[in-house]
Amino acid sequence: MTSPVSVVTGGAGFLGSNLCDRLLAEGHRVICIDNLITGSADNIVHLLGNQRFTFVQYDVTNYVTVEGHVDFVWHFASPASPLDYLKYPIQTLKVGSLGTHKTLGLAKAKNARYLLASTSETYGDPLVHPQPESYWGNVNPVGPRGVYDEAKRFAEAMTMAYHRYHQVETRIVRIFNTYGERMRLVDGRAIPAFMTQALRNEDVTVFGDGSQTRSVCYVTDLIDGIFRLMMSNEVLPVNIGNPDEVTMRQLAEEIVELAKSKSKIVYRPLPQDDPKVRQPDITRAKNILGWEPSVSRAEGLKLTERYFRGKLKL
């Protein structure tokens, strides 16, 4: 029996590389495409000797062609942290629009099933809490975060258009805050920032008064939910994330304690359009996919702290 063939764009990134691991474990042949603008070859170096793994350095905003049969296309290419998409605003918009168009074209040409990695940022600074998939969002299209939020909203619309007009089999996952191994030390997101600062005994920087919330999901749980979604028959968006909501202040305190750090928590002004709350309603994922997270925050943070400690050579 031949192995299923998966194309993973953004496959050298934090989530993409963890997805490549899961697909190889499931017996897939994996073609990983990444232009390494925010991804890192370090994330996939352990896979380079695997005969079922191929890495191609390429920008998927250009025409995408792959030789031979393809069963699945997983579109994960995009800057994903505020630091990245504020640094690369045009590239972020292009990979969400042109990159989605080109990868959907590949799926159509190969008669492959397609999954779009969308985001909870499509909900913006939400006026509905927790956020169900039926909520249309509260996004500022001309604010600094709009380059990411609107790129993903457009990508969802493009994906549904290919499904309806070209009958491409499509899936859309709305990813909520995720953490774990292979996050970069300087990423701009809360957990890497808090971890790095706490492990170095530097001041831990919390934006606003720390009362804003996030719901953080450990990476293996997230990848499991995404894999289940691709293998399901669900066409409409599905939230994947951990509904265990925590304030930024509490998260910083937990990380300082875990790291046995001497760090003090300090507060800085909240960035423009930063969401005040974020919590997924995962009812659809439970009902359709039989999925819910299994790794507790305490357990996931412990694994992540060990990874960061190793990266910092402490």
In this structure, what is the dihedral angle of CA atoms 221, 227, 231, 235, given to the nearest 10 degrees?
80
Same domain, yes or no: 197 and 105: no
Q: So what's the pLDDT on residue 197?
A: 96
Same domain, yes or no: 260 and 134: no
Beta-carbon contacts of 63 under 8 Å, excluding residues fewer than 6 positions away, are 102, 105
Active-site annotation holds for 165: no
Residue 14 has pLDDT above 80, yes or no: yes
Same domain, yes or no: 89 and 61: yes
Boundaries of domain holding 82: 5-179+218-243+283-289
Same domain, yes or no: 267 and 126: no
Does 49 fall in a domain?
yes
Phi-psi region of 47 (alpha: psi -120 to 50; beta: other; left: phi over 0): alpha
Does 184 fall in a domain?
no
What are 127-171's pLDDT values in tens digits? 999 999 999 999 999 999 999 999 999 999 999 999 999 999 999
Same domain, yes or no: 229 and 268: no
Amino acid at 312: L
Computed over its alpha carbons, how large is the radius of gyration of the chain?
Answer: 19
Catalytic residue among 88, 114, 123, 148: 148
Same domain, yes or no: 81 and 226: yes
What are 77-127's pLDDT values in tens digits? 999 998 899 999 999 999 999 999 999 999 999 999 999 999 999 999 999
Does 18 fall in a domain?
yes
Question: Where residue 71 sits, what CATH number does that domain have?
Answer: 3.40.50.720
CA–centroid distance for 8 within its chain: 13
Same domain, yes or no: 91 and 102: yes
Same domain, yes or no: 22 and 170: yes
Q: Which two tokens stand for residue 153?
A: 């909203």
pTM score of the predicted model: 0.96
Same domain, yes or no: 203 and 128: no
Does 239 fall in a domain?
yes
Same domain, yes or no: 223 and 274: no
When divided into structural domains, the chain yields a total of 2
Same domain, yes or no: 97 and 223: yes
Does 185 fall in a domain?
no
